Amino acid sequence: MKEKLYHGKIFYGWYIVAAAFVIMAVGWGITFNTASLFINPISEDLGLSRKAINMTFTIRSLCQLVISLFAGLIYTRLKMKNLMKLTSITLALSFFLHAYVKNLGLLYFLTITASVSMVLLGTLPLSIILNNWFHERIGFVIGLAFTGSGLGGMILNSLIGKWIIAYGWRVTYKILGIILFVAIVPCVFFIIKIHPKEIGLTPLGTGESAASSDSDDGGSEKEGMMLSEAMKTIRFWGLCLSLIFISISGLSLMQNISPHLIDVGYSIDFSANIVALSMGALAIGKMLLGYLLDKLGLRKTSFISSFAILFGCIAMLYPKYLLALAVVIAGAGIGTSYYTVANPVIAQRLYGRKDYNSIYGFISAAHSLGGIISPIIIGFLYDLSGSYFSSFKIMVIISVLTIIIFNFVLPREEAQKQ
């Protein structure tokens, strides 16, 4: 028996995409894509070292790692929608409370609260939900929804740079807390539906209902591999290693644009605008990568992202040249789009829907591990040399290694067909 595909004139899944776009634009855009702007003002105001402030990046990635590793268990034991409702509130509250930080301990605690909230609200559940609603053009759909983080980052970086100068970093955090609450809470409470069957629909791309075989929080279909099976293959571990490497190089590039440019003599406002343009490129990059994943396939798209990061890291060695800054913007945008757009597609296309939640969570954890390692490397080399130049030289080498590993572990496009 067939279920309805449309609820009214527009397939309701597109409303889910719109809600995911807003959550990523405001939530992810603020939590992860504007953090670098606060490094200098917090460090100067509280008298803390760069290394201590940079540890917040490691904390964010560690939270992603832990939550991602246990994603399958979390969404088996707990209702996804209830978690998203709770974390939409705690995310906004944690940012508002950042305004009252007076020591490193409270800064770290609120960073953990915000990061855990955003991970349980962001790419992990949203990719599962989008996979429930769309069984075709998933690369485009995820790219479109997750474009929000880049667009939000672009707009918010520009605004936050001005707000910090005009009002100070504490008032800016209060403003961000209010924005988070007003934008995200209504989307989670009133628009997000975990599965089409909640309103009597079937996923776009299927004619027959799979509702009877799908769970409330992500579903499970018969084709594909279990995580335990994937972990027995060398290719799976090679893939995870490549994801760690591309995460290290890409995040090192994106997260250190602002402090690197300030160190070489650019103003805070100019640096914030370069970061904002990088976020704009990130928005375009996610749309582009979603399209390329559907048209060119995973292997070729992975190479495009890897080379973009490579050229971006090389360009960071020549920050005084405007052409180099243009390459940085394009490289950061296109390259770092890979994590949020490609990881869900990797899980689905290479390993199927059978244990999607667990496999996607595990490869996302690999990305998060790279995020933990990145600021440690950057902080150590910065303390050693007093600049970011040595760090970007190392990132060039890591980018080349990523390309080499991808060449061996990613199957030819015909082998990705399920």
Q: Write the pLDDT tens digit of every residue in 103-114.
A: 999 999 999 999
Averaged pLDDT for residues 274-294? 88
Asked if pLDDT for residue 245 goes beyond 70, the answer is yes
Instruction: Kindly state the percentage of the chain with pLDDT values over 70.
Output: 93
Asked if pLDDT for residue 257 goes beyond 70, the answer is yes
Backbone angles phi, psi at 328, to 5 degrees: -60, -45
Instruction: Kindly state the percentage of the chain with pLDDT values over 90.
Output: 63
* pLDDT score of 222: 59
Range 13-410 has CATH code 3.30.230.30: no
Averaged pLDDT for residues 349-357? 89
- SS3 of the chain: CCCECCCCCCCCHHHHHHHHHHHHHHHHHHHCCCHHHHHHHHHHHHCCCHHHHHHHHHHHHHHHHHHHHCHHHHHHHCCHHHHHHHHHHHHHHHHHHHHHCCCHHHHHHHHHHHHHHHHCCCHHHHHHHHHHHECCCHHHHHHHHHHHHHHHHHHHHHHHHHHHHHHCHHHHHHHHHHHHHHHHHHHHHHHCCCCHHHHCECCECCCCCCHHHCCCCCCCCCCECCHHHHCCCHHHHHHHHHHHHHHHHHHHHHHCHHHHHHHCCCCHHHHHHHHHHHHHHHHHHHHHHHHHHHHCCHHHHHHHHHHHHHHHHHHCCCCCCHHHHHHHHHHHHHHCCHHHHHHHHHHHHHHECCCHHHHHHHHHHHHHHHHHHHHHHHHHHHHHHCCCHHHHHHHHHHHHHHHHHHHHHCCCHHHHCC
User: What would you report as the CA-atom Rg of the chain, rounded to the nearest whole angstrom?
Assistant: 20
Q: Scan for tokens 């904390």, then name that residue.
A: 59
When comparing pLDDT for 222 and 175, which is higher? Answer: 175
Averaged pLDDT for residues 225-238? 95
Q: What is the pLDDT of residues 189-205, one digit of tens each?
A: 999 999 999 999 999 88
Asked if pLDDT for residue 122 goes beyond 50, the answer is yes
Q: Which of 313, 301, 307, 308 is nearest to 343 (CA)?
A: 301
* pLDDT score of 1: 38
Backbone angles phi, psi at 293, to 5 degrees: -60, -35
Domain range list for the chain: 13-410
Q: Which range is least confidently modeled, 168-177, 231-240, 331-340?
A: 331-340
